[in-house]
Amino acid sequence: MSQTKTRTKTKSGVDPRLVKAIGHPLRLKLLTLLNERVASPSELAEELGETIGSVAYHVRTLAQLECIELVRTTPVRGALEHHYRAVARPVFSDDDWAKLPESIRKSLADAVLADIAKDMAGAAEKGGFSRDEMHVSRTPLGLDQQGWQDLNELLQNTMFQALAIQAQCKERVEANGADAESAELVFMLFEPPGDS
């Protein structure tokens, strides 16, 4: 069971341990994966094509930063394999995002966009866009500053509503024993490259 931890924050309200955790690209990938499921360093190393030593080092760092926690150990060939899950999610308010170093913002955006591109390519290859309830759209807009703020707030609220819908689905699945189907929701609000 997760313990609630008191976290110190910077003036921006961002936990400095979380900033340190996501400051390294491999730690960001590990934290992202451990937000999705429980896994061991050896499983993560194999999935990411990284050395076990490097992954184990960064997993220890995430544990020291209290961003992940040990869930269980299992005996494997005379040793214990440790399995972890995330207890921190890299989600930031607009004010906190604006105060993050540009290098961290770029690293986060690059990692998310790479995951989206990989998932979309895989879904397209395997028929993931053929479901009746699927939606994809691209809508160029002209926005003033208030419009940017309003639309950004709408997307954030929609994300929280989507998480609430997922929680309700989990309760229904557990109650009736049905299987949940995987789905992925992607929002993007960004400045496109200017005409040159």
Q: What is the DSSP string of 20-65?
A: HHHTSHHHHHHHHHHHHS-B-HHHHHHHHT--HHHHHHHHHHHHHT
- pLDDT tens by residue, 155-187: 988 988 988 898 888 888 888 887 878 888 888
pLDDT in tens, 103-160: 888 888 887 888 888 888 988 898 888 888 888 888 999 999 999 999 988 998 898 8
In CATH, which of 3.40.50.2020, 3.30.1860.10, 1.10.1060.10, 1.10.10.10 is domain 7-110?
Answer: 1.10.10.10
Residue ranges of domains in the chain: 7-110, 132-177+184-189
pLDDT in tens, 13-49: 667 788 888 888 889 889 988 988 899 999 999 999 9
Residues paired with 80 in a beta bridge = 75
**Structure tokens, 18:** 């979380």
Res 67: pLDDT: 92
How is residue 148 written in tokens?
């940017």
Residue with more model confidence, 105 or 68: 68
For tokens 């995330």, the residue is: 86
Q: How many CA atoms lie within 13 A of 194 on its CB side?
A: 1
Residue 21, φ and ψ in degrees, nearest 5: -60, -45
Compute the chain's Rg from CA coordinates: 19
Measured in degrees and rounded to the nearest 5, phi and psi for residue 72 equal -160, 165
Examine the pLDDT at 1 and tell me if it is beyond 50.
no
Give mean pLDDT, residues 55-61.
Answer: 95
Encoded tokens for 37: 């499921």
Dihedral of the alpha carbons of 67, 63, 57, 106, in degrees to the nearest 10: 10
Helix or strand holding residue 109 (H, E): helix 102-125
Q: What is the Cα–Cα distance from 119 to 128, expressed in whole angstroms?
A: 10
DSSP bridge pairs for 107: none
Please tell me the pTM assigned to this model: 0.63
Q: Is the pLDDT of residue 58 over 90?
A: yes
154, amino acid identity: L
Q: Are 84 and 39 in contact (CB under 8 A)?
A: yes
Q: What letter represents residue 19's amino acid?
A: V
